[in-house]
Structures are given as structure tokens and as C-alpha cells.
Structure 1
Amino acid sequence: MSFAVVVSDIAPLYTKPEPLCELADEALYGMVVEVLAREGMYCRVRTHYRYEGWTPARCLLEDGAPAAQWQSVPKLVVQKPYIDVLNEPKVQGGCLQSMPRGAFLCPEGGPDENQWQPVRLADGRLGYTKATYLAQPAPAWESVGEDELRQRLCGAALSYLGAQYRWGGKTPLGIDCSGLVSMAYLLNGVIIYRDAAIKPGFALHEISFEAAKPGDLLFFPGHVAMYLGEGRFVHSTGHTGTEGVILSSLAEEAPDYRADLKESMTAVASIFGAPQ
């Protein structure tokens, strides 16, 4: 067993160890992955949220010592859609590394009077980015009140509005349906299954639609969305004419009504309450 750190902005996780094949997921800068196997220029990895795929070895820092050290240092999480880490604390600085929402950086002290936050990259380089672009990792979700967590989940999903649809994607550059909801939960300290399914061993359990509240998930054949309340939901869709992260409705009188989804709903799930 060995571990590695993702050192590219986005490490694609493919279904096979070859280029231009199906994208299954994306690991983000600063995530630590377990290396399971190697084949040619690819490594099969398992993420901390228990998803597996093949990624180019060039996306990883595989040296065991830096990976172990990186796991032990404090982290900040990128909150903006996409940020640059610069070599100087000024906007004219050279870009050392760019990364999307959900990536991890190590803080080096606090920000200066201009809110430049010194950060350490996984390869040891020191850089700078604005403190307002970063946040502390989410606390254990069980410690957050239900109403507040539901609000945070919805806010996280809505922060991707307008992103293009990308099969297997998980960033504001492109995201799919399960990438959207799993990232919304991951940013709030909750690990759910990465694909559009309710899988044993993860936090979600099935509930009735009548019991659904904001932040719960709606499942359809091969699709998942986050419920916002009052019949509305946010999702990432490849549906012709409405591609990307959008708002839709289950209410027949709404202009963005999706009759096809209302009629094909297979399940509703929640992390709240006890499984029935």
C-alpha cells in the first residue's frame, strides 16, 4: 500500500489506463489518494471518498514521505470556482499553480494586511493567494445543526450554477449530476457515493418524497438532483437545450417543469434522521 498527493489542478480518473477513454471522476489538487496498481503511465488510485479510477502518473506526487507529511499538516479548502497561487503576494506575481473549488492547500501563518495568505504547495513550494478564496475544512457534519447544514448543502450546490455538463466532472469547469451533489456534500464534510445511486456503507438512506426537505437528494434512472424545497431542485444535466447546472421544477405550472423527471423518479434520500 502506498499513498500519493494530487499535484495537478485536476487529476482525471479514467475507467481504463489509456487516453481518451471514459472519464469516471476527477481528483483535485492536494487530495491524498491510495495507489492500488500501476500500468504503463497510469496509476489506479482510490480516493478518500472511496472511489477508484486510473489517473496519469504525472498528476501525482508519489514519494511516500511528502505524501505522509502532507496528510499530517493543517489544510485550507479552495472556495472560489478557480484560483491561482502566485509566487509573490501581489496580483502581478507569477502563477505557480491553479486549482478549482475543493482543492487543498497548507497555510503558512496568517494573511498579511492586504489579505494575502501564504500557502505551501504539496511539492514544498511557497506561494500566495487571497485569504478570502480559502476556508477552513468543514467540521464533522454531525456537529452542525440540521437546518444550518441543509442551507449549506443547498448553497454549495447552487455555487456551481452555470457550469457546463461534463461526464465524470467535479469542478466549476465542468461537472456531472453526481459530481455536483457529491461535491456539495464533500465541501460540507459528508461523504456520499460518487455515482447516482444509494449505496450501502454511505450516509444516505431512502425516505419518502413527502418527507423531502432542502438538501435531500432526488434520484432518477442514471440521474440525481438536490431538492431545494417547494418542488424545485438543482442539477447538472446533459438534457438537450438545458445543458449544465440549472434549476428545474417538479411543479406542472412552473416554466422550468421537468415532466420526464417527475414521472421517472425512483427514490428520495437523506442523511438526516434514522433509516426506516
Structure 2
Amino acid sequence: MGEAIINTAIASLRKDPNRRGELADEDFYGRRVEILKEMENGWSYIRTQYGYPGYTESRNLITEERKVGDWERAFKKLVISPFADILEAPSVRGVKIITLCKGALLSVLEAADLQGYVKIGLSDGETGFIKEGFLSEYKTGYTMEKEEELRYDIIQAACSYMGCQYRWGGKSPLGLDCSGLTFMAYQLNGITIYRDASIKEGYPVKAIPKDRKKPGDLLFFGGHVAIYLGEEKYLHSTARNGSDGVVINSLNPEDFLYREDLARRLEEVGSIFC
């Protein structure tokens, strides 16, 4: 039916077209989606750029063709801070327009001033200001030329969510599930992997022998996924009592971080570096 731009900080994608529907995924401000069907109750059935479908409230979307086109052509940067206020004026006293989170996209209109404020464009055509340090390069692709550097960047992106709570279907600093964490660690580096905890044809992660795992690869435990850190340790988002979010655990039985239940369930290792 057409394309749209997300116009809210975090757009919930639900399995049913109502607020009590199970949360399937989240997508962020400034991200493009495809509208598959418009419902009569104020909801739209959409598909994200990475192929994930769900229902979101229609008010979360900008559908005007001109605005969508302008946004697609705009030079954009990525919000990398966990949370960032967009202000009406380049001042700490500026009125807040909206608070965005890591993963959002903004159009950059002018270079930073002496106080570090960048003039940005919003997806609805309005303008505002944000601190330069809250923005990073918006990567839409990747190269294998510097494999070790890319592995390091993936791990750093994942570690930036340390301490965030577990949230089924989430992938923001307010809460993430296991595949939300792994997806964001890769997406922030310009790599689109499958959103769920499995290896799927058509995405860059491929199965490799378990003994060839390296930092930045993915560990699949049958319905659960983690990022391998090296030295038998891994980072994941877990709802296990006492962890309740993004933590580090180990495959080594001699390590106090060892989780026997997951070590026994390790089914395969996935990597884009193969």
C-alpha cells in the first residue's frame, strides 16, 4: 500500500491490532516501513526494512508521500545515546520536543555550534536541536576488510546495553529480549541479521562449527541467542530470576558465571564471517 516513516520514539509492533496484543518487535523514530494493510480501528499492519511484520498504531506513522520522499533523500545520523532529548532551541533551557532512544534516525541540517548543538530535521518536517555527542554515523552496509575491528564494534554495541532489563519483543534501552539485543548489536554496525533467535535463509548469519566460534559470533541455544565474547563467555538478555536483563555468562563449568542449563542447550554457532 505504500511506505511510511515512524514518527514516534518507539513504535510497538504487536501480533494483534490492539494495545493488549503480544509485543512482537519494536522499531524506532525515522525508520522506514512498508504498510501492508490499514485497519479500520486506527491500526496498520506493517513490515520493517528487515522483513519483520506486525501491527502498530497508524498515528505512529507518516504516510504523506512528499514527506516520506524528502526523508529518504535526507542526510541522516544515528542516535547512539541510550536516550536523547530533541529541543526547540540550542540551549539546556530549550523546550523538549521529543525524547528519542538509541537506534533512531535524524536528518542533520547544520554542523554543531560552539556549544555542541546540531540543528536537525524531524520526519514531520519540523526542526530541533540535539547534542553532537548523541549522534553517530548511520551505517547502511559493512565490509569484511577489517574483520577484527568489526567484531570488536559488534561486541561494544552489545555491551552498551549492559544492565538493561529483559523485555519480550523489545530492542530499546528500556528493555530487550535476547534476539533484540543481538539484532541491535549488528544493526548499529550496518548489518541486518534475522530478528528472531534462529538462523534463517536470506540473512548473512551462517552456521559454522562450534569449535570455530570467535568474538562477535552468535550462539544459538534453541529458542535463545547470545553474542560470544571470547574465552567461553557470552553476553545475552535473559529473564532468568536474578539476572533479569543483559548480563554475561559462561560456557566454562569452572567459571562462576557458568549456566549449565544453557551450556547443555547450545545447538549451533552462527557467523557472518564465513
Using the size of structure 2 for normalisation, the TM-score is 0.98
Counterparts of residues 68-217 of structure 1 (less than 5 Å): 68-138=69-139, 140-142=141-143, 144-217=145-218
Per the TM alignment, residue 92 of structure 1 is displaced from its structure 2 partner at its CA by 1.1
Which residue pairs with 2:28 in the alignment? 28
Q: What is the alpha-carbon distance in structure 2 between the residues aligned to residue 202 and residue 88 of structure 1?
A: 42
CA contact (8 A) 1:77 1:136 kept: yes
Q: Could you say what the CA RMSD is over the residues aligned between the two structures, in angstroms?
A: 0.9
Per the TM alignment, residue 138 of structure 1 is displaced from its structure 2 partner at its CA by 2.1
Q: Which runs of 5+ in 2 are unaligned?
A: none
Runs of 4+ in 1 over 3 A off after TM superposition: none
Using the size of structure 1 for normalisation, the TM-score is 0.97
Per the TM alignment, residue 209 of structure 1 is displaced from its structure 2 partner at its CA by 1.4
Q: What is the alpha-carbon distance in structure 2 between the residues aligned to residue 153 and residue 241 of structure 1?
A: 26
Greater displacement, 141-150 / 244-253: 141-150
| Residues 71-102 of structure 1: per-residue CA shift (max 9 Å, x gap) | 11110000000110000101111111111101
What SS is found at the alignment partner of 1:24?
A: strand
Letter in 2 for 1:97: I
What SS is found at the alignment partner of 2:165?
A: coil
Q: What is the alpha-carbon distance in structure 2 between the residues aligned to residue 98 and residue 68 of structure 1?
A: 24
Letter in 2 for 1:187: L
CA contact (8 A) 2:234 2:249 kept: yes
CA contact (8 A) 2:35 2:44 kept: yes
Which residue pairs with 2:11 in the alignment? 11
Q: What is the alpha-carbon distance in structure 2 between the residues aligned to residue 204 and residue 130 of structure 1?
A: 35
| Residues 113-163 of structure 1: per-residue CA shift (max 9 Å, x gap) | 111011001011110010010011126212551000000000000000000
Q: What is the alpha-carbon distance in structure 1 between the residues aligned to residue 205 and residue 11 of structure 2?
A: 26
Per the TM alignment, residue 6 of structure 1 is displaced from its structure 2 partner at its CA by 0.5
What SS is found at the alignment partner of 2:125?
A: coil
| Residues 203-249 of structure 1: per-residue CA shift (max 9 Å, x gap) | 00001111000000000121100000000000000112211001111
Greater displacement, 91-100 / 198-207: 91-100
Q: What is the alpha-carbon distance in structure 2 between the residues aligned to residue 142 and residue 172 of structure 1?
A: 27
CA contact (8 A) 2:6 2:61 kept: yes
Letter in 2 for 1:114: Q
Which residue pairs with 1:48 in the alignment? 49
What SS is found at the alignment partner of 1:248?
A: strand
Identity %: 42
Q: Which runs of 5+ in 1 are unaligned?
A: none
Q: What is the alpha-carbon distance in structure 1 between the residues aligned to residue 210 and residue 92 of structure 2?
A: 49
Greater displacement, 60-69 / 9-18: 60-69
- Label 1:153 to 1:96 Cα distance change in 2 as closer, same or farther (>3 A): same
CA contact (8 A) 2:140 2:191 kept: no
Q: What is the alpha-carbon distance in structure 1 between the residues aligned to residue 74 and residue 113 of structure 2?
A: 21
Counterparts of residues 238-249 of structure 1 (less than 5 Å): 238-249=239-250
CA contact (8 A) 2:4 2:68 kept: yes
